[in-house]
Structure 1
Amino acid sequence: MTTVSPDAKRIWRAARVPVFIAVVVLLAAILLTLTRGGGPRGDLDPGSAEPGGSLALTRLLTQQGVRVVPARTFDQASSALSQDATLLVTDPDLVQPARLAELRGRVDTAVLVGARQDVLDLLLPGVVARDEAEVTVRSPGCTVAAAVAAGNAMLGGTGYWAHQTARTCYDGSLLQLGPTTLLGTGVPLTNERLATEGDAALAMRLLGHQSTLVWYVPSPGDPAAGPGNRSSLDLIPRGWLFGAIEVGVAAVLFALWRARRLGPVVPEPLPVVVRAAETVEGRARLYRRSRSTGYAADVLRQAAIDRLRPVLGFGAGAEPAAVVESVSARTGRAGAEAGALLYGPAPGDDASLVRLADELDRLEREVRGE
């Protein structure tokens, strides 16, 4: 008989191609994440012409006499700073708050895009980050000069609230506290939205105060920017994590769909009729081939005891001593002889096993009175 259940070798042969593809995709994702700061990539990158980049704003600032210094690592940003410079950080969450506070203390003005609560607790105590809101055209609703001059602008994202000394605009998506400005989203700085509403005016007034603008685009692979105990999962973009979760759910659903169903045994007619004697002979040959004389003797003795117990009036839990005593009383055999037949040691060879089988048959007939 040939088994149809898959073994480890068959499972690996079937799964190695999907596993290889998954490993390649994962390695590619990690590689892209670690190298994403090496060139123009969008996401408020000052050298990117993509819709999410900020090349257009960089050129406008340059035309107005502002020297834009791109920085992609903490060390580059630190070396480019001076007291008469403006610092723009496009993703403050990728920078350790203490390091960010160090950079903030070396410039006259700073603009942070989408700063979260852990950054605010150290840099701007008392400022609270609220849930993200939809990015839409909003009116200033404040007295901040840059917002009043720009008028309506595309803002939203993270909202901010603070005590009365801070000034909030655009429904809380712009907050100015002293020389620090918080933007809830970087949409007004992008190539795609710069020409809409008053986005260009707002961006120019926020970033063009000083003669130098240090445009810091943090990279998750920069060891000098983030805390030293960040795990590799922190370096993976959130979209990749969501995608991995979706793939995992799909894999579980696929496994449930294709897995073997476990249920009650379903009887199935055999293609041929097998005589009971052939089954017994086949099992006997297996025992003989494996030299399982002791196991075969145990099977013979247990079968004889199971047949004798109802005749002797015992149940399934009868003690061996009681069975031997009752058999001895019925057959007139000595208790030691009956005990040796039913519970004795295993026979040493096939001939002894055959003699044991004959003696057990004879003992059964005597108990039944045949």
Structure 2
Amino acid sequence: MTVLTPTARAAARRHSFWIGMASIALLVVLVTLLITRAGSVTGDPLSPTNAAPVGAMAVAEVLADQGVTVTPTGSLGETSDAASGADEPTIFIVDADDTLVGSQLDDIAADAGHLVLMSPGFGLLDGFAPEIALAGSVSGVLDADCAVGAVDRAQSVLGDGTGYRLVGDAPDAIECLDSGDDVFSLIQLQRDGYLLTVIGTWDAFSNERVAEEGNAALALNLLGGADDLIWYEPSIEDSLVPGAPTVGELTPVWVSAALVTLLLAFIAAAIWRGRRFGPLVVENLPVTVRASETMEGRARLYQSSSARTHAIDTLRIGTVDRIARLCGLPRLATVEEVIATASSITGTDRGRVHALLLGDVPSSDRELVALSDALLQLERRVAHAVDPTSRATTTETPFSESTEETTR
């Protein structure tokens, strides 16, 4: 069977260029998204539960295997409770967003045996360790140069991170990992009842770099000196300065009343000016176009473009649909089923019905008109066969003769 109307596959081939361009553009977008996501930082940096390259899950897992109890915390309250329940634990503070101030550490430092600050900012140092000041960034490999056990065992450390220097009186301070100009990556102080270590080698603790140089030895020995390790990552809840007024307390009394008044005015205006949705209104069209005129217009368009194939296909689709309804066939019935049923009830040769509904291709306007007449006659014969009392008549030229004339 030859399909005369262009199929979906033919239409796709005709627009293959634009389909290909759209597919390439979509592929480029997907690849860009994948590369961006793969190269982006995932998870919290130096988090003990983050297995991404920037996390520190490797250090936490090894410490746990060595018998150290690692307790991640996310607030001052959790850290204080965990510290009070442990025996001189090591508290490791990773304040990546510089949310803490020095005075917030006084309570947890009293219960700590060793307090380790990873790359603390100005606010944390100013209130908690004023003897130490920021001294810029550090990069490159640093050699062990002090008596601190963790540094001595590491021998060399990746120093990428923050540098510090002493600016106050601290006779018992130990300065380690000198990067030049009295800038150190680790400074250790002995406080009343606990040991304070300020360290800036941020990358040395990450999953991606911990296996390089002596980074693992530094991290494990520095954090694994006690049976309990509290890994504290400050959250937004800890960023508020204790005792500071809330937003509500800072807001004048008249602001709330003004906002309520404006809201009521807006609602009143919406009700006043809003359009009420009632029943649909039927509007008269400026011009009434008859269906016959529309059909005639389409026919003239087909004629002007010599679209005989498209015209006969349109007529055949309507004829097949009406014959199927006359014969009581289901909506999903195929054309072959319609041909077989029409041939059976009218007593017409099946090949002739098939040629009329599918096979014949008009090569001139005269043949197109003949095929159209034959389709109309076939539909009338089917209607008469189904209901002899219908108004359909067969007084015209017999269907077989009209089909033979069309074929000739």
Q: Which has the higher contact order (CA 8 A, sep 6+)?
A: 1
TM-score, scaled relative to structure 1 = 0.48
TM-score, scaled relative to structure 2 = 0.44
Q: Which has the larger radius of gyration?
A: 2
